[in-house]
Amino acid sequence: MNLQAQETVVGFIGIGVMGRSMASHLMAAGYPLNIYNRTQAKAEELLDRGASWRESPAAVAAHSEIIITMLGYPRDVEEVYLGPEGLLAHCRTGSVVIDMTTSSPQLAEKIAAAARQVGIAALDAPVSGGDIGAREGTLSIMVGGERNTFEQVRPLLACMGKNIVFQGTAGSGQHCKMANQIAIASTMMGVCEAMVYAEKAGLTPETVLESIASGAAGSWSLSNLAPRMLAGDLEPGFYVKHFIKDMNIALESSEEIGLSAQGLALAKSMYDRLAAAGDGELGTQALYKAYR
């Protein structure tokens, strides 16, 4: 337990699969926690362990010094931060708000500017590493905002992640996460095409992996997701529907900054077809079905 932690009251909004693990690490480190979630039932475990329930984001804001959000879509982020019952209207001056949702870089910039106007510091700090990274406290955290603010809350971020990197001004954390998703999108096409090619060519794809997984064709997706797709295991490590959400943000943002991300656009169109066929609740490795 971190003794200094006991003096800093933290708010946590968004107690889903990721948020629950992340908030849990903060409690274990000694931070008193105010929590809010749309569905209160999901917060029971944390409440049993001593977290305080608050009835709204506004109530979390009124009782906390640092507020973390881990939400779903950019529209949720916009409402929680900028809505009439939102954080910026109710946070105390001098508070720090940290959005760890994967969300729009442009929205992160907008929130940071609006926060500055009311004397609040805002960071965007999306993560990668998924539910396992959240559970084990090994997330990669990509941070945008003021560097001083980042340094101030770094001990708190360190409870939840291992690879914590300051990426630049407001929005830079989200931009970095978009770069991450953009790299994954086309890599997944390559992995699926390679595996389905092997299968259709009459090879044993598992034996092909022995030849290619550790060389220049190697990737996290090839080593970790290809074996799952070959075994017919399409359980979500990362949901198709969530990946589509991220790729939509990445495509909009690419357009805004003048990048024609053709691989990303193609990958998204293939995932869109997968979701349209009812596979949005599967893991991203289900893309190989689109090639078979």
DSSP SS3 for 262? helix
56 binds a copy of itself (CB under 8 A): no
Cβ distance to a copy of itself smaller for residue 80 or 178: 178
DSSP 104: -
Judge whether 33 and 23 are in contact, CB under 8 Å: yes
DSSP helix/strand/coil, 74:
helix
**Nearest CB to a copy of itself, comparing residues 17 and 257:** 257
Is 247 a binding residue for a copy of itself by CB under 8 A? The answer is no
What 8-state DSSP symbol labels residue 283? B
Exactly one of 118, 207, 233, 281 binds a copy of itself (CB under 8 A); that residue is: 207
Catalytic-residue membership of 177: yes
Figure out which of the listed residues 257, 273, 277, 281 binds a copy of itself, where binding follows CB under 8 A: 257
227 near a copy of itself, judged by CB under 8 A: no
Interface with a copy of itself in residues 92-111 (CB under 8 A): 105
Specify the residue, 28 or 265, whose C-beta has the smaller distance to a copy of itself: 265
Helix (H) or strand (E) holding 36, with range, is strand 33-36
182 binds a copy of itself (CB under 8 A): yes
Which one of 162, 177, 268, 289 is the catalytic residue?
A: 177
Rule CB under 8 A: say whether 160 interacts with a copy of itself.
no
The CA distance from 37 to 18, in Å, is 13
Residue with tokens 């500017």: 113
Alpha-carbon distance 226 to 199, whole Å? 12
Pair of tokens at residue 31? 């931070």
* Residue 201 contacts residue 258 (beta carbons within 8 Å): no
Joined tokens for residue 280: 């949005």
Q: Which is nearer to a copy of itself, 28 or 290 (CB)?
A: 290
| Distance from C-alpha of 149 to C-alpha of 57, rounded to nearest angstrom | 21
Stretch that binds a copy of itself, among 1-9, 17-25, 61-69, 254-262 (CB under 8 A): 254-262
- Binding segment toward a copy of itself, per CB under 8 A, in 23-31, 74-82, 145-153, 165-173: 165-173
User: Which one of the spans 13-21, 110-118, 181-189, 227-235 is the region binding a copy of itself (CB under 8 A)?
Assistant: 181-189
Smallest gap from Cβ 257 to a copy of itself, in A, equals: 4
CA distances to 21, 31, 32, 101, 155 from 4, rounded to whole Å, are: 21, 9, 11, 26, 10
Q: Which of 82, 89, 114, 212 binds a copy of itself (CB under 8 A)?
A: 212
